């Protein structure tokens, strides 16, 4: 019963967030976009799980338990190279923790395994997960990028894993809305029927606070401008790491991964100057006026 009450309370909270987003609350709208694109919540776990637990090479050696014949003292298995690169370059954390060194006795093997697993859980909780290549390109276009721009990820052929070769074979339910092959669901035709009130209902005076709540809930829906939409998608792109394209076969093969960000995120002037494109990109994107000399 408590679980049902908690689910109803959570559903009511989510519904109120959608209502506030439709009324123009940008904070609620950005929260919904973060959940939909896997920055937080179940979708994030669905995107992260294949990077951790799937597509291990056949010759991979799992660490043996620190205490013989005690399986729960085994250290965590190694992470994929692309996930290690995201952790090192984005979170600035070490893959392996610095274990304490007691003065008068060696560190207990069981405590050593607990510390290793605790650090691994910390890394997996804070690491930003890469999105599929097709979805990152879609986000950049929604953020204002041109599909034929030289710095667009679709032109650079960078972004993340390919959906059909990485996520599609696993068939994870709660990330199917990110599939580039998805079919939009038709709008529901369900209409709520109003039941007649019972004649035996006791007539009561309505509390003044209920009038206020009804007035607040009946706020009109506000459409976001194109500029507001672009700014929200750019804010979302700040949390998306950009990697090379990879599939289930190339996940463990390469050890050199470069993690970058999209060129359409808001950045400070010192970060922009560090990422000045080469002369060919400048000439193809910026129109130059020829000065006529007399």
Proportion of the chain above pLDDT 90, given as a percent: 67
As a whole number of angstroms, the distance between CA 238 and CA 54 comes to: 27
Where do the DSSP E strands lie in the chain? 158-159, 243-244
Q: Which of 248, 262, 254, 257 is nearest to 51 (CA)?
A: 248
Cα 256 vs. chain centroid, distance in angstroms?
23
Which of 163, 130, 172 is CA-nearest to residue 258? 130
What's this model's pTM, rounded to 2 decimal places?
A: 0.80
Q: What share of the chain is helix, strand, coil (3-state, %, to 5)?
A: 45, 5, 50
Pairwise CA distance, residues 135 & 163, whole Å: 9
Give the chain's radius of gyration (CA, Å). 26
Predicted local confidence at residue 277, as pLDDT? 61
Is residue 109 within 8 Å of 72, Cβ to Cβ? no
The Cα–Cα gap between 275 and 268 comes to 11
Q: In angstroms, what CA-CA distances link 272 with 150, 263, 280, 293?
A: 16, 9, 18, 33
CA distance 291 to 214: 65
Residue 250 DSSP class: S
pLDDT at residue 189 in the model:
75
Instruction: State the Cα–Cα distance between residues 65 and 19, nearest whole angstrom.
Output: 51
Distance CA 230, CA 237 (A): 11
For the chain, list residues with pLDDT below 70.
185, 190-219, 268-294
Task: Identify any residues that bridge with 255 across adjacent strands, giving them in sequence order.
Answer: none
User: Which letter, b or e, does each residue of 206-215 get, where b requires 16 or more Cβ atoms within 10 Å of its Cβ?
Assistant: eeeeeeeeee
Structure tokens at 10: 């959570």
Q: Are the CB atoms for 10 and 41 separated by under 8 Å?
A: no
DSSP 102-140: -SSSPPPHHHHHHHHHHHHHHHHHHPPPPPPHHHHHHHH
């Amino acid at each position: 019963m408590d679980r049902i009450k908690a689910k109803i309370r959570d559903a009511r909270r989510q519904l109120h967030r959608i209502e506030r987003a439709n009324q123009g609350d940008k904070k609620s709208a950005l929260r919904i976009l973060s959940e939909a694109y896997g920055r937080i919540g179940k979708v994030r776990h669905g995107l992260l799980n294949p990077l951790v637990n799937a597509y291990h090479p056949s010759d991979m050696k799992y660490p043996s338990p620190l205490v013989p014949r005690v399986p729960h003292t085994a250290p965590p298995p190694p992470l994929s190279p692309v996930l290690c690169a995201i952790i090192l370059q984005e979170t600035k954390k070490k893959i392996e923790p610095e274990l304490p060194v007691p003065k008068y006795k060696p560190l207990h093997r069981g405590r050593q395994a607990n510390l290793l697993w605790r650090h691994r859980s910390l890394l997996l909780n804070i690491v930003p997960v890469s999105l599929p290549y097709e979805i990152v390109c879609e986000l950049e276009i929604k953020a204002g990028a041109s599909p034929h721009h030289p710095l667009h990820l679709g032109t650079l052929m960078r972004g993340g894993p390919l959906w059909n070769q990485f996520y599609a074979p696993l068939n994870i339910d709660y990330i199917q809305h990110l599939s580039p092959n998805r079919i939009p669901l038709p709008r529901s035709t369900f209409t709520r029927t109003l039941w007649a009130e019972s004649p035996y209902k006791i007539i009561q005076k309505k509390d003044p606070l209920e009038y206020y709540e009804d007035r607040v809930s009946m706020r009109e829906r506000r459409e976001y401008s194109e500029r507001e939409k672009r700014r929200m998608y750019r804010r979302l792109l700040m949390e998306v790491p950009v990697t090379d394209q990879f599939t289930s076969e190339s996940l463990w093969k390469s050890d050199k991964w470069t993690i970058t960000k999209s060129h359409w995120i808001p950045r400070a002037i010192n970060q922009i100057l560090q990422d000045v494109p080469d002369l060919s990109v400048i000439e193809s994107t910026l129109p130059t006026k020829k000065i006529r000399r007399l």
